[in-house]
A and B are shown apart, each in its own frame.
Chain A
Amino acid sequence: MNAIILSAIFGVVLMMASAFVSNRSLYKTIALACLVLLVGANIAETLGYSFFTIDTHNMLAFNKMGLFFNTICFTATLLYVFISSSEIERVDNYTAEYFALIFFSLCGIAILTSFNNLLMMFLGIEIMSIPLYILTGSDKRNLKSNEAALKYFLMGSFSTGILLLGIAFIYGATGSFGLESIKVGTLQMQLSILEVTGCILLLIAFAFKVSAAPFHFWTPDVYDGAPSVFTSFMASIIKVAGFYAFVKLFESRIETTSFATNPAVGVNWHLLFAILIIATLFVGNITAVFQQSVKRMLAYSSIAQAGFMLFALFSVNAFSKEGLYLYAAGYCLATIGIFAVLVRMKDYTFEGFNGLAKHEPTLAFATTVCLLSLAGIPLTVGFFAKYFMLAAVVKQGYAWLAIVGVLFAGVSIYYYFRVIAAMYFKSADENPAAVATSSTVKIGLAVVVAGIIILGVWPHALLNFLYF
């Protein structure tokens, strides 16, 4: 509860700040302070100190798992704002509003980690997404940014429609919006074909949100068109939050609606998920290979990474639960780190990275660590994230799917290492390609690198919080 209410209040505070505080450089200080408070308040609630007692009529249910996920997302946002605040100021004049929108998105995330009711889930998704449409189009004078915002909005509304349709089907079949009551209901009643249809529709809507193929089409255009700082936010924190909600929604009903429990109308979820996973891994990895722009490559790589996160949905067990948290933290860290470097480049193509190691060794090193983590090389958190996901699948008895995953991870090495090769083994043609970096950015990147490596050596530093 702390997180939901405070993030909304902080959003309003920042909007007010834009009206009453004329000193623009203060905004980021306020935003950072608010974020620190937000993280603190969320940890306080995890420890049992809830500041608000509101009867939500069981529409929201707070548990340690969800609150801990909040902590990961909020801390990642804190790191993100710390690194990128100067870039956010550079987008346009409405700095305070951008921060406000980020806070509203966080409010949506806080709802998504605690919903206990399909309507709250719908609200959470919309509260999280609508600020993103605006942020995507925030570079108003740039045609690409406008186009991306419009595309995002159009396709987003389409998926919202499907989501609502799915909820309506389920309500029609069971007479309830509650997450829990559906579970109890289906055990007692005959599983209705309408409910299964609703579930598949929900699956499609969520596949859209987390950009799983074949519902990923918005991702490359939107990520490419949006201002890079906001792409960083969308590709990291928003994405993992979407996954959390996805898994949370499905783990409550995956068994009751399955083919095994209800042979008459149940779904063979493993088949369906496997098809989604393979399609996503294929499209993401294969298309990323031929991109010329690093930003667009990262958009496809985020699709590929989504393919790996989908494993958590495929095999709902203890391994995959741990893997999801580790993946969330590791993926956020790496994405924030790499975009922090990317926004400082003049040229987003692979050639633009040529010789970066010569004149900006710190940036090059941080980029390398982030890319290694994304590729899943040992000693980085990316390795353990992938390891847990694959181990979860193997534990479910689907070793062949894990092999497919490993093969595509092998393909991903190609495009990640292209950047590393450009930085270290090619020389720049002319003037330095990156703008000067402030010490703030370097500190932030140091934190990112340290996080990636510490979690890569000792993943239980994070996972132990799940069980304390």
Chain B
Amino acid sequence: MYLVPLFPLLGAIISGLFRNQLSKTAAGIIASGAIAASFVVSFLLFFQVKSGGAIAVTPLFTFIKTSAFTIDFAFQVDQLSALFLLIITGIGFLIHLYSTAYMHEEEPHHFARYFSYLNLFVFSMLLLVMGANYVIMFIGWEGVGLCSYLLIGYWFKNTNYTAAAKKAFIMNRIGDMGFLLAVFYILQKVGSANYATVFAFDGFSSTDVTTICILLFVGAMGKSAQLPLYTWLPDAMAGPTPVSALIHAATMVTAGIYMIARSNVLYSASEIAQHLVAIVGLATALFSATIALKQNDIKKVLAYSTVSQLGYMFLGLGVGAYTGAVFHVMTHAFFKALLFLGAGSVIHAMHHEQDIRNMGGLKKHLPITHITFLLGCIAIAGVPPFSGFFSKDEILAAAYAHNPIYWGLGVAGAAMTAFYMFRLYATTFLGSFRGTQQQLSHLHESPISMTLPLMVLALLSVVGGFLNVPEVLHGNAALHHFLSPVLTSESKHSLSHSTEYILMGSSVAIATLALIFAINKFSKNPELGEATGLGKTLANKWYVDEAYDAAIVKPLNSVSLLFKNFVEKGIDGLVNGSGKLVQYSSRQVRLVQNGQVGSYILYMVLSMVILFLLWWNQPILTKFIQKIF
């Protein structure tokens, strides 16, 4: 079991330490091989879990031991983590493979550094999902945050990119604080952070559960880019595209979903927290979908779409459809990784051009990329029988059972999703080429190591949905049954089959309409000019960055300036003054040490006398001291 995270860790250490010695090929093989090895082990583990079904907790060693609690460094592989293991290592491997070609222009030692970070990321992510208690999860949580920071700022010579990296790190830290507080709260109340102990604990009051759940959710907001902490994710697209695919679409950002799904016992006990999760998720889904409508950077569109899809997952968690949320994590990992890698392939072919207004007509130049990208778009738009349809439908159906308004807004978001995805598709691949002549002459399909992952992911995006065909469509809901031991029996929505058919039909119809409308609108005459009116607001992302800047950053800066100019001078004086005082007294005190034995003995005798005097007068002294303190 410990082999799963061990391989990526070794890979990270080897390619990190020997980055100057390793050739590019060697670094690529070591890093990808490490992930492949851990994928194989995960695969075996998965079937072990599937057949055995028992939850296995393996303690490795005692990590922290105090009188109040003990925290073991322990791994837990159950149905939930086994599924995540497969997603992480499987998609991780494909993306490593893809990266060997995508990053090929880099210097050898930077190339190895990249793979070292990437392996370290996979290691941290595995730690996050395999930990058997919240503390180990937190270690992984921080680890993936660090790797995300390192990889966003991978091209560290560009100050914009390093600024984006810092933004991601700081936003995440705000969320992490919530998570950390939740862990402290749990430790304080339960005296253990083990999942099994915490979930079985019955001493929680309802306020306790709600507080813990909300604090945990604050952590999830940061990591999974929900309102109001989502702004780092679009900026995180500064990193290399495979990184966006792996970290900022398929795995790391779903850590928040994993955490809440893992804590489903707690959330089911707190209605307030569930409502909060659902509302924040829905708001994020709609909000970022509107922004995505008007973005022109191919990766930005995908980034906002990711934020929006994460919102759907939280909506699912909030309405108690834990399986649906986890299912959507899986299908989303397939098609969003596919879309990002496809975008990477386009960017690669276009020589780092990311503005879709300068693309168009790429259909005939990049045939494989085109087909796979199209499949990804159909999947995310929720057209049956592609994977996105099943997972999104499950969430929407649960939302309807909870509150029809949730459903209505969700469908509106889904329509926008279909619209902006096909706007993206049409502007990029259809129509005529709008780039420079030089770019046109260099257009080429990507090498096999890039297209192979695309094809595998496209296949998964198409068929992934059949893993969990709902009963209403005469499926066996395999995933649902597989996960049922670890997820609480959900408030089984009591919708009649006919209602479900109507819901499905209407959401599919609306999404399809939006899709066709977008293709028609943008394949012939894409919008190339600057947006106006509401469109401008959307293109500028509702001015959220500016609002944060004005509301938080600017006041902080001016306060900090104030401190710098006035308070710091005073503190400086105090600090430097005490330093000077120490130096001065040092110069004086050392003079006592004059080298004469006679005077030394005199001092000693005097000190003895003083000690005895102290003893005689200690009642007075004690009173005196008590008065001071």
Contact = CB atoms under 8 A, between A and B. Distances in A.
- A and B: interacting chains: yes
A218 to B, nearest CB: 7
Contacts of B589: 283, 286-287
Interface in A265-308: 267-268, 271-272, 275, 283, 286-291
Interface in A194-224: 196-197, 200, 203-204, 208, 214-215, 217-218, 220-221
Interface in A90-115: none
A290 B583 contact: yes
A200 B621 CA distance: 18
B606 to A, nearest CB: 8
A155 B614 contact: no
A345 B111 CA distance: 43
A200 B597 CA distance: 23
B585 interface: yes
A286 B587 CA distance: 9
For A158, A272, A283, A286, the residue with the greatest tally of chain B CB atoms inside 10 Å of its CB is A286
Contacts of A291: 590
Contacts of A417: none
A155 B615 contact: no
A286 B582 contact: yes
A291 to B, nearest CB: 7
Nearest to A270: B622
Contacts of A162: 608
Interface in B583-621: 583, 585-587, 589-590, 593, 595, 597, 600-601, 603-604, 607-608, 611-612, 614-615, 618, 621
B64 to A, nearest CB: 12
A223 to B, nearest CB: 12
A259 interface: yes
Given A155-B597, A215-B607, A267 B583 contact: no
Nearest to B610: A214
Contacts of A286: 582, 585-586, 589
B586 A290 contact: yes
Contact of B604 (A197, A214, A220): A214
Nearest to A289: B586
Contacts of A220: 593
A290 B564 CA distance: 31
A468 interface: no
Interface centre among B579, B601, B604, B614 (most CB of A within 10 A): B604
B566 interface: no
Interface string B103-141: 000000000000000000000000000000000000000
Contacts of A411: 582
Contacts of A259: 618, 622
Contacts of A217: 593, 600, 603-604
Interface in B553-588: 579, 582-583, 585-587
A213 to B, nearest CB: 8
A162 B612 CA distance: 14
B60 interface: no
B65 to A, nearest CB: 8
Nearest to A400: B629
Given A286-B582, A287-B586, A411-B582, A154 B597 contact: yes
B68 interface: no
A286 B582 CA distance: 6
B625 interface: yes
A214 B579 CA distance: 24
Nearest to A219: B593
A267 B597 contact: no
Nearest to A214: B607
A414 interface: yes
Given A217-B603, A411-B582, A271 B611 contact: no
Contacts of A158: 601, 604
A270 B629 CA distance: 15
A271 B590 contact: no
A151 interface: yes
Max count, chain B CB within 10 A of own CB: residue among A200, A214, A291, A400: A214
B622 A271 contact: yes
A272 B618 CA distance: 9
Nearest to B601: A158
A289 B583 contact: yes
A197 B615 CA distance: 9
Contacts of B583: 289-290
Contacts of B629: 400
Interface in B232-268: none
Contacts of B614: 271-272, 275
Contacts of A290: 583, 586-587, 590
A267 B615 contact: yes
Nearest to A265: B615
Given A214-B603, A290-B587, A268 B618 contact: yes
B586 A215 contact: no
A182 to B, nearest CB: 19
Given A196-B615, A215-B607, A259-B622, 11 more contacts: A155-B600, A158-B601, A200-B615, A208-B604, A214-B604, A217-B600, A268-B621, A271-B621, A272-B614, A272-B615, A290-B590
6 contacts: A155-B600, A196-B615, A197-B612, A221-B595, A271-B618, A287-B589
Interface of A: 151, 154-155, 158, 162, 196-197, 200, 203-204, 208, 214-215, 217-218, 220-221, 259, 267-268, 271-272, 275, 283, 286-291, 400, 411, 414
